[in-house]
C-alpha cells in the first residue's frame, strides 16, 4: 500500500511540475526581408498564419500572421510555395501579435524566388 501511494505521489508531482514549465519562447526576428521555407499555413482563430524556417538556419518554427488586408493573396502564394517546395522571401514587421497560445509577427509580403 505504501509503495502504491508513493508511485501515485510521484506521478502527481511530475504532472504538476510539467504543468508549470514554460513553453519555449521564440525570439522575434528582425524587421525586413528574410529568405524562408514555409512549413505550414492556414486559418487560426480568424487569422491566417504560417510557420516558417529560415533558409540560413537563423530561426526555426517562427509564427507569422498574414496582413489582414491582403491575406487571401498572401495565403495563395504561401500555399503555392508549399506545393512547389520552393523558398520564398517574406517581409516581416518587428511587431508582436498575440493569438491564443502563440505570439506571432506580421507578414506583409511573400515573394516566390
Paired strand residues for 97: 104
Kindly report, residue by residue over 57-95, the tens digit of the pLDDT: 999 999 999 999 999 999 999 999 999 999 999 999 999
Is 5's pLDDT higher than 50? yes
Confidence band (pLDDT; 50, 70, 90) for 101?
confident
DSSP designation for 101: T
Report the relative pairing of strands 62-66 and 88-92 from DSSP bridges. unpaired
Please indicate whether residue 9 or residue 110 has the higher confidence score (pLDDT).
110
> Where residue 105 falls among pLDDT bands split at 50, 70, 90?
very high
Quick one: which of 6, 51, 12, 45 has its CA closest to 29? 51
Residues 6+ apart with CB under 8 A from 94: 28, 30, 31, 105
Q: Which pLDDT score, from 0 to 100, does residue 22 have?
A: 46
Cell matching residue 24: 519555449
Q: For residue 24, what are the CA distances in angstroms to 12, 15, 49, 100, 101? A: 23, 18, 19, 15, 12
Question: Would the pLDDT of 96 be above 70?
Answer: yes
Amino acid at each position: 500500500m505504501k509503495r502504491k501511494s508513493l508511485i501515485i505521489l510521484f506521478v502527481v508531482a511530475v504532472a504538476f511540475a510539467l504543468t508549470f514549465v514554460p513553453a519555449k519562447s521564440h525570439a522575434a526576428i528582425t524587421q525586413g526581408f528574410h529568405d524562408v521555407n514555409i512549413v505550414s499555413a492556414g486559418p487560426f482563430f480568424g487569422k491566417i498564419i504560417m510557420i516558417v524556417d529560415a533558409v540560413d538556419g537563423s530561426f526555426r518554427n517562427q509564427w507569422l500572421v498574414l496582413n489582414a488586408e491582403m491575406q487571401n493573396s498572401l495565403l495563395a502564394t504561401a500555399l503555392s510555395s508549399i506545393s512547389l517546395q520552393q523558398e520564398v522571401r517574406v517581409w516581416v514587421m518587428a511587431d508582436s501579435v498575440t493569438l491564443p497560445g502563440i505570439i506571432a509577427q506580421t507578414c506583409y509580403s511573400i515573394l516566390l524566388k
